[in-house]
Amino acid sequence: MPHSNISGASLHDTTRGIVRFRRGLPADADALSAFARRVFDETFGPDNDPRDMGLYAENAFAPSVQHGELTDLARVCLIGESDGAIVAYALLHVGSTDPAVNGPQPVEIERFYVDAPWHGAGVADAMMDRVTSGAREAGGETLWLGVWDRNARAIRFYARRGFRDAGAHGFLLGTDLQTDRIMVHSLAAAPAATPGRDIATWRA
């Protein structure tokens, strides 16, 4: 499928530099593993047991897991880079669904990370635009995600981008069963990016 709406585009911030977006490749597995684990720890570590954080990270962010996701034909990985370093990362899972998701041709946003130094630079909006394009190019019609019910800032961001609350499901962080809100967005009328501050991470 074509990827002209994903790769080759960039976001310029006068104080922080240029973020370029591209498709993730199997060779990115080690770098993605380190980036995803660090940002996840920085975002959720202060509010969770370190043992549960460690258990989850071993299962979700090991280089072998990242390599498997990068070579999975049902997944689309998008990377934002600045000066050769990863500053943002999104992972889509085509066909993944949940009982709370009723729309046709679902695509789950499994990961969406923006590094802290780039908060407020529009990176989250720019990445969301590319997520929307990638989901459409993969044949998706319904975009959905799970967000921790205690992450009010993230929930506000998704709502601004057109997602609506559709229910909840359990999220097992190590041994701690938590609750994620399910938010759904129809790709039939996806809005363009709007000005606003971005967020660090969502999880599913």
| Residue at 148 is within a domain | yes
Q: How many domains does the chain have?
A: 1
- CATH no. for residue 183? 3.40.630.30
Query: DSSP per residue over 52-97, as a string?
Result: HHHHHHHHHS-HHHHHHHHT-TTEEEEEEEETTEEEEEEEEEET--
| Residue at 141 is within a domain | yes
The owner of tokens 């085509």 is 94
**Model's pTM, two decimal places?**
0.85
Range of the domain at 149: 9-203
| Residue at 157 is within a domain | yes
Whether the Cβ atoms of residue 40 and residue 50 lie closer than 8 Å to each other? no
What CA–CA distance (Å, rounded) separates 122 from 17? Answer: 12
- Average pLDDT of the residues in 77-90: 95
What CA–CA distance (Å, rounded) separates 147 from 98? Answer: 13
| Residue at 70 is within a domain | yes
What CA–CA distance (Å, rounded) separates 158 from 163? Answer: 5
- Residue 5: pLDDT above 70? no
What CA–CA distance (Å, rounded) separates 59 from 81? Answer: 25
**pLDDT of res. 188:** 84
**pLDDT of res. 17:** 76
Summarize pLDDT for 152-185 with one digit per residue, the tens: 989 999 999 999 999 999 999 999 999 999 999 9
| Residue at 4 is within a domain | no
- Residue 189: pLDDT above 70? no
Q: Taking the CB of residue 35, how many other CB atoms lie within 10 A of it?
A: 21
| Residue at 1 is within a domain | no
**pLDDT of res. 24:** 96
